Amino acid sequence: MKAAILSHGYGGQNTAYSFIARSLVAHGYFVASIQHELPTDVPIPTVGPPQVVRRPNRERRVQNILFVRQKLRKKYPRVDFGQLLLVGHSNGGDPAMLFAQEHPALVRRVVSLDNRRMPFLRARQPRVLSLRSSDQVADSGVVPSPAEQRRFGSAVVRLPAIIHNDMWDGATPTQQQEINGWITRFLAQ
């Protein structure tokens, strides 16, 4: 059985992406959704360059993923935690990209729902799908150019009917279906 780890956006809850989790389970994935922040945690910085001042938050999230992966490998030895599917929204997508850069041998695919700060891995493996909202723009250098997308086999899909804050369980059924449809097509490749 394949393994997927979901990472919520900043201030979100690990249960806020159940429509994606259910779809992944239907496609044969064992799904873990990590609660990265607690109400008692210090808020992420809002002053200074986000790529710099929020890096410790992303690094903590990478450590969370490694910790959860290790614990689940022991508890569920039949699940393949060696070729992860990472799915992350916004500030959950940034650590997914960082994890893939730091531990590419552990990741088979990354699905980013509108990560904005952490540059995509510029490599053929792991494969990357990024679903981009209609209202948020990633920082310069985050999303690969069309030539880089072709070179590395990454897919960047613009969703004109979906804004950044629609990419969770609060999305309409039509929006959820569109998001899951793109993820399903990506997993079938």
Determine how many CB atoms are found less than 10 A away from the CB of residue 143. Answer: 20
Q: How does pLDDT run across 111-155, given as a tens digit for each residue?
A: 999 999 999 989 999 999 999 999 999 999 999 999 999 999 999
d(CA 129, CA 143): 11
d(CA 140, CA 147): 16
φ/ψ bin of 48: left (φ > 0), alpha (ψ from -120 to 50), beta (otherwise):
left
Beta-bridge mates of residue 71: none
Which tokens go with 91? Answer: 């500030």
Question: Model's pTM, two decimal places?
Answer: 0.95
Give the residue numbers spanning the domain of 24.
Answer: 2-188
Number of domains in the chain: 1
So what's the pLDDT on residue 15? 93
- Measuring CA to CA, how many Å separate 105 from each of 8, 83, 100, 129? 23, 7, 8, 18
Task: Walk along the chain (189 residues) and give the pLDDT tens digit of each residue.
Answer: 999 999 999 888 999 999 999 999 999 999 999 999 888 888 888 888 888 888 888 999 999 999 999 999 999 999 999 999 999 999 999 999 999 999 999 999 999 999 999 999 899 999 999 999 999 999 999 999 999 999 999 999 999 999 999 999 999 999 999 999 999 999 998
d(CA 185, CA 167): 18
Q: Specify the CATH number for the domain of residue 39.
A: 3.40.50.1820
Q: How far out from the chain centre does Cα 170 lie?
A: 17
Residues 6+ apart with CB under 8 A from 142: 115, 116, 117, 118, 119, 120
- Measuring CA to CA, how many Å separate 144 from each of 81, 111, 122, 127, 129? 27, 14, 8, 13, 11
